[in-house]
């Protein structure tokens, strides 16, 4: 039996630490977890609704929610940079731009590009500024409120490891310092693909990138506008056309999608086929906090600068409207009664017996066809009913009129 040994207090403390080290958890054992601190809880309903902070937008309600991440997308060559620059100039001057922005006051904008050098951005900026800021005081506002950044030497801003870890580069630090110094309301980053090293199709890898951009906007109380490409197929809704991971569409809170004018739209608006590529439509793909806006149209124009260069810009354009006359309604009713290709007309624009085709052949302008048909249906002179196709022997929904020559109508009950 060992004899007891008297230890000084310091010796006893050292001995206890030695025993603890030898009997503690092994290297492959997880240490005991500390007691977690519960998250702060908040009530949903307040006694005073007015205490809820109102939503804030850059460029008017529904434009750029602040501080959030938003996106402007479109296929290659549709002039995303040009229209973003037009909106930036308008925001800086405090003037409206084609239904996209209508600021209550001038806004501060940082425009960062990677693919276009500053000289090219200046060309387009001078072109659009000459059209929408034609007063010296407005031009002065643009120069004080809008600043260009060449991001080509700073990208990527974020490096993403295969396991999803995000590393901010020195370029990101420089961007932060610039935002902190300039204090913009809106930061335009063009394009998204150049800002990071993540696999664009991976939700796991794109989430930290979008989260970092969202945190950047929150930290400096600004809206982050990302210019982004769409899929080559260009199919589906605007959000579905966004290239890459679904996390991109999930993270943004507003989305504008650009598309070139289609052949059908050119025909409807009376635009010649060889000029249709000059027109672009901007439609709302996502509007998290407000109603979707109606599509906005723009037309490409050129201005020769003082140095002799032609400069490209996009100016707001309104599709022509057609006044509907009683003569149009009479001609339309006659055309629908006669049908097309020996059968009643269909509401489908792709059908052989398309009502639109019948109306256009009757001399109704393409821009008026939809309203003329709505008017005839509203008066009850035309209705949608089931008609049995004698060839396919299947009931189909077709446009019925009194006095039409077609047998095979299933009943007299209009279908709307």
Does residue 358 share a domain with residue 269?
Answer: no
What CATH number did the domain enclosing 395 receive?
Answer: 1.10.10
Which of 263, 291, 317 is the endpoint of a domain?
Answer: 317
Does residue 385 share a domain with residue 287?
Answer: no
pLDDT score recorded for residue 18: 54
Q: What is the largest CA-CA distance in the chain?
A: 122
Contact 66, 101 (CB under 8 A): no
In a domain, 13, yes or no: no
Alpha helices in 133-190 (DSSP H): 136-145, 170-182
Question: For the segment 94-139, what is each residue's pLDDT rounded down to a tens digit?
Answer: 999 999 999 999 999 999 999 999 999 999 999 999 999 989 999 9
pLDDT score recorded for residue 2: 47
The secondary structure of residue 46, as a DSSP letter, is: -
In a domain, 128, yes or no: yes
Q: Which residues contact 75 (CB under 8 A, 6 or more apart)?
A: 229, 230, 232, 234, 258, 259, 260
Which of 271, 297, 317 is the endpoint of a domain?
Answer: 317
What does the alpha-carbon distance between residue 71 and residue 139 come to, in Å, rounded to a whole number? 27
pTM of the full predicted structure? 0.75
Span 173-187, mean pLDDT?
98
Does residue 305 share a domain with residue 351?
Answer: no
Span 267-284, mean pLDDT?
91
φ, ψ for residue 187 (rounded to 5)? -120, 120
| Tally of domains in the chain | 2
Show the domain range for 269: 56-317
What does the alpha-carbon distance between residue 117 and residue 152 come to, in Å, rounded to a whole number? 9
Which of 293, 317, 341 is the endpoint of a domain?
Answer: 317
Exposed (0-12), middle (13-18) or buried (19+): which is 174, by Cβ within 10 Å? Answer: middle
Does residue 251 share a domain with residue 124?
Answer: yes
What does the alpha-carbon distance between residue 350 and residue 353 come to, in Å, rounded to a whole number? 8
Question: For the segment 349-382, what is each residue's pLDDT rounded down to a tens digit?
Answer: 888 899 999 998 998 888 788 889 999 999 999 9
Does residue 330 share a domain with residue 313?
Answer: no
Does residue 363 share a domain with residue 269?
Answer: no
């Amino acid at each position: 039996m060992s004899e007891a040994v008297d230890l000084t207090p310091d010796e006893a403390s050292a001995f206890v630490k030695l025993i603890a080290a030898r009997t503690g958890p092994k290297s492959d054992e997880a240490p005991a977890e500390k007691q977690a601190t519960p998250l702060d809880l908040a009530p949903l309903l307040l006694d005073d609704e007015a205490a809820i902070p109102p939503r804030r937008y850059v460029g008017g309600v529904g434009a750029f929610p602040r501080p959030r991440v938003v996106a402007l997308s479109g296929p290659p060559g549709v002039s995303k940079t040009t229209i973003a620059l037009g909106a930036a100039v308008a925001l800086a001057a405090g003037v409206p731009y084609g239904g996209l922005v209508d600021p209550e006051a001038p806004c501060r904008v940082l425009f960062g590009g990677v693919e276009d050098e500053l000289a090219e951005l200046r060309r387009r900026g001078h072109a659009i500024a000459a059209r929408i800021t034609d007063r010296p005081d407005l031009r002065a506002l643009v120069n004080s409120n809008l600043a260009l950044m060449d991001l080509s030497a700073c990208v990527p801003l974020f490096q993403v490891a295969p396991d999803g870890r995000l590393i901010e580069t020195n370029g990101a630090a420089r961007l932060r310092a610039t935002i902190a110094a300039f204090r913009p309301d809106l930061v335009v980053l063009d394009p998204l693909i150049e800002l990071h090293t993540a696999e664009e199709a991976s939700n796991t890898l794109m989430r930290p990138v979008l989260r970092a951009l969202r945190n950047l906007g929150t930290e400096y109380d600004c809206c982050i506008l990302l210019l982004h490409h769409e899929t080559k197929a260009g199919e589906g809704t605007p959000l579905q056309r966004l290239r890459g991971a679904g996390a991109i569409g999930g993270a943004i809170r507003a989305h504008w999608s650009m598309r070139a004018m289609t052949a059908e739209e050119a025909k409807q608006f009376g635009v010649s086929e060889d000029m249709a590529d000059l027109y672009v439509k901007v439609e709302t793909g996502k509007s998290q906090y407000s109603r979707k806006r109606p599509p906005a149209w723009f037309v490409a124009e050129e201005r020769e600068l003082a140095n002799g260069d032609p400069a490209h810009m996009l100016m707001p354009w309104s599709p022509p409207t057609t006044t509907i006359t009683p003569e149009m309604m009479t001609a339309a009713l006659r055309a629908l009664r006669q049908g097309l290709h020996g059968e009643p007309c269909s509401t489908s624009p792709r059908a052989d017996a398309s009502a639109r085709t019948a109306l256009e052949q009757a001399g109704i302008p393409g821009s008026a066809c939809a309203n003329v048909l709505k008017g005839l249906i509203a008066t009850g002179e035309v209705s949608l009913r089931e008609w049995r196709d004698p060839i396919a022997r299947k009931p189909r929904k077709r446009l019925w009129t009194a006095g039409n020559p077609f047998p095979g109508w299933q009943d007299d009950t209009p279908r709307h």
